[in-house]
Amino acid sequence: MNEKENKIYSTLPKLVELGISEGKVDLGLMPGADEFGVFWHKWAEVLAEWNAADVLNLIKGFTYFEKISHSNGFGSVPPVPQIFTVYCEKKGVLTADEMADWILANSVNDYCPYGTNNHGAKSLAELSLIKNTISEKKLKTKESEKEREMSAKNKRAQDATLRLPKSIERKDYNAIRSLLAKGADPDYLMSDGRTSRDIAKNLGLLELLLNEKFHNK
């Protein structure tokens, strides 16, 4: 370890004691939260030789540390999620869900225990309910957007259908191409009993409506 890492590592026993005491040990002067970033993505290596009980108490220590030192918060990159993963791999006394429940109940950080937003949940049951609610809202929003898109598409097709006859009569090939691409229906029956296909046939332009390449350009 380099000098910065050694400095932070030397504080970990204090955090373990803080966890054991349920937040009652006086830590004295401690590094700023940002300084613990020297172990970002290294916690598995740092704690490789630690037993599960000490890792559990380190998680608790960090949780109490952040709760006690509100001005010393870890923001969206707390060490707890990575250490929590280490604990789960060591199969400690508490199960992963039990440990996660404890963290949610005691943490003031919105990104514990998993490193993703916990939305203020204080238990796994609450977190699951919140996530389900968010998923349902997203699904409803997606369905609404799909309905709006379909409605807009149908409106474009309807408008294109009504404009198609005049474009055929003008022999405006570009307009015909554009209208067909928008979904114009050449077989729509107009008030005079004719369709765009009838008009195209009478003008010798029926091939345009049958030409798939022209239709889709």
Residue 144 has a pLDDT of: 85
pLDDT at 87 over 90: yes
Structure tokens at 125: 């049951």
SS3 content of the chain, % helix, strand, coil (to 5): 65, 0, 35
Percent of the chain clearing pLDDT 90 (strictly above): 67
For 173, residues 6+ apart whose C-beta sits below 8 A from its C-beta are 208
DSSP 190: P
pLDDT at 43 over 70: yes
In this structure, which amino acid lies at residue 30? M
pLDDT at 34 over 60: yes
pLDDT at 212 over 50: no
Sign of the CA dihedral with 44 first, then 113, 123, and 138 last: negative
DSSP string, 13-53: HHHHHHHHTTS-S---S---GGGGGGGTTTHHHHTTTS-HH
CA angle 118, 19, 16 (to 5 degrees): 115
pLDDT at 217 over 50: no
Q: Cα Rg for the chain, rounded, in angstroms?
A: 33
pLDDT at 213 over 50: no
pLDDT band at residue 73, thresholds of 50, 70 and 90?
Answer: confident
Q: How far apart are CA 87 and CA 81, in angstroms?
A: 10
| Site of tokens 């050449």 | 186
Average the pLDDT over each of 77-81, 103-107, 130-134 and give the range with the smallest value.
Answer: 130-134
